[in-house]
Amino acid sequence: MLGRTRFYMGLVVASLLFIFLAGGTVLAQAPVTGQHMDDNWQATYWNNMTFAGSAVLQRAEGSLDHSWGVGAPDPSVSADRFSARWTRYIDVSPGAYRFTAVSDDGIRVWVDGELIINLWNDHPATTSTAQMNMGVGHHLVQVDYYENIGDAVARLTWEPASTSINNWRGEYYNNTVLSGAPVLVRDDANVDYNWGNSAPAPGVVNADNFSVRWTRQIEMAANTYRFTATSDDGIRMWVDGEQILNAWNDHAAQTISNNKSLSAGTHQVIVEYYEHAGDAVARLTWEPVAAATGWRGEYYNNMTLSGSPALVRYDADINFNWGAGSPAPGFVGADSFSVRWSRTVNLPAGNYRFTVTTDDGARLWVNDHELIDAWKDQAATTYTGDIYLPGGDVPIKLEYYENGQFAIAMLSWSISGGPPQGSIIVDDTSPGFVKGGSPTAWHGENEGYGNHLTWTQNNDLARPDYNWARWYPNLRSGRYEVFVYIPNRFSTTSQAYYWVAHRNGYTLRVVDQSKNSGQWVSLGTYNFQGTRTDYVSLSDVTNEPYLSHLVAFDAIKWEAR
């Protein structure tokens, strides 16, 4: 045994002398002997962590790829607190090589006497890498290793650096802060993972409390790109050193996106991700902004459209009947979710009817006008709203929520001719009718215009809970005469104060409802702007004795003049 040890020490000294004389790229040693041609590792083991004293085992090993767990390398070697040294020559073609060592605990690697990996401390299974240029021929590799307690892992591989990472270079860490040496470095084709409760690499990377850094050079054509990341938990991203995405916190699966203009050529992209506990999701996509067409749908795992969306995607149409299922399994729940769709559509001038079918709540804005408000739990119900559009780009926004059971969201529209002519009527059942005040004071009856009316008892302005209502029409800009319909009953006040909001301001008209029942009463002719600022309002404050009369809130009509 002693003679063999002296022989290898002589080889190491000769190798170091040759490297010193050659300089630059590491060259092959000469002369070539039988030891250079041996593909086995010469392994030596000590029952201490410092290579002290006599070795307890020497043997040839075909590979340096050991995962002993809590066991021992051999019956003669302790399961804990031992050390080992492996040596062999490798024959390579000239070029750059990447060496990768995995160890639990300490490891050091020399190539032709140069220390290239040094992780000499206690740690769980950890991956270390190093790259070096090597000349043609044989090169001496030495690996020193020690195991303290617990699991024991020792592994070394090498490969040409030019072919080791073709896609994303993924560096995986068994902590959430990307610190220390990675426990795994691998080539990932895409950043597109939904590991759930599993580990990215069982036995090497944790299922929880891990982090990853992906890096890649990407060839891009000149354009503006939308980068979209979905993660559970934290994710952040840089393009050419500029951070464009940042959601570095614990959260359920959510999606964020941002746009960046890029010149033609190669661009560096870095993605950092960490998983704390529970499910693990990490996805990154990008596309030219022009390719993102249709409705921008922001999906939330709550019914109030609050916080960050769990998913952002582009939907070709809003024509969904999800039944009891989810809009996006794994990202959005089947119940208690909400969606905001938005889009700008170029439409010719004309009168349009928009139709929404929803289960549960929905509300629709067209050209910044709230056209439909059905924000409540309900079985599948269809609503319509009419609006005149002057032609050109029209912003449209639909908000929707699902509480439980079935989920339906549908939107469509049709043109019904040019500018509105004749009568435009807003009834107390129309989307343009808005009321406020004390909810318990409002009452409804199946009579009046359209077989429905709303009424209250008269109030006192000094009381903070008086009731009020507004009628919003869908007008084009022009001149209209305004009428109010007074029903036969629930209209006993003699002092109903109607305010007409028009292009030139506000006009007050007082109507004696008790003497004009069952007919339309003119409030005058005015110029209107054709915007949300056009309306008629009425409150139940009549300056009559408190709760002595009834105030009817029925229909308002605008006649083009």
Query: Would you say residue 554 has pLDDT above 50?
Result: yes
Write out the E strands in 348-418: 350-359, 361-366, 369-374, 381-389, 392-402, 407-415
Q: Which of residues 421 and 414 earns the better pLDDT score?
A: 414
Domains of the chain, by residue range, sit at 2-164, 172-289, 295-418, 424-560
Q: Answer yes or no: are the C-beta atoms of 369 and 532 closer than 8 Å.
A: yes
Predicted local distance difference test score (pLDDT) of residue 166: 57
The mean predicted confidence, pLDDT, of the chain is 86
* Residue type (1 letter), 191: V
Query: Would you say residue 26 has pLDDT above 50?
Result: no
List pLDDT tens digits, range 204-232: 889 999 999 999 888 888 888 889 999 99
- Please state, for a pLDDT cut of 90, what percent of the chain lies above it: 51
Q: Is 92 exposed, middle or buried (0-12, 13-18, 19+ CB in 10 A)?
A: middle
Residue 4 has what DSSP assignment? H
List pLDDT tens digits, range 339-354: 999 999 998 877 788 9
Class of CATH domain 424-560: mainly beta
Average pLDDT estimate for 170-186: 86
- How far is it, in rounded angstroms, from Cα 352 to Cα 329? 35
For 172-289, CATH gives 2.60.120.260
- pTM: predicted TM-score of the whole model, two decimal places: 0.39
| The CATH number of domain 2-164 is 2.60.40.10 | no
- How far is it, in rounded angstroms, from Cα 315 to Cα 176? 35
* Residue type (1 letter), 493: T
Residue 432 has what DSSP assignment? T
Predicted local distance difference test score (pLDDT) of residue 34: 61
- The structure tokens 């939330």 sit at 300
Query: Would you say residue 464 has pLDDT above 80?
Result: no
Instruction: Judge if 295-418 and 424-560 fold alike in CATH terms.
Output: yes
Predicted local distance difference test score (pLDDT) of residue 10: 43
Query: Would you say residue 39 has pLDDT above 90?
Result: no
Predicted local distance difference test score (pLDDT) of residue 7: 38
Predicted local distance difference test score (pLDDT) of residue 18: 37
Residue 118 has what DSSP assignment? E
pLDDT band at 32 (very low <50, low <70, confident <90, very high): low
pLDDT band at 176 (very low <50, low <70, confident <90, very high): very high
List pLDDT tens digits, range 57-82: 999 999 898 999 999 999 999 999 99
For residue 179, report the phi and psi dihedrals to the nearest 5 degrees.
-105, 155
Average pLDDT estimate for 288-297: 76
For 295-418, CATH gives 2.60.120.380
List pLDDT tens digits, range 84-130: 999 999 988 888 788 888 889 999 999 998 888 888 999 888 777 77
Q: Answer yes or no: are the C-beta atoms of 356 and 320 closer than 8 Å.
A: no
Largest pairwise CA distance in the chain: 126
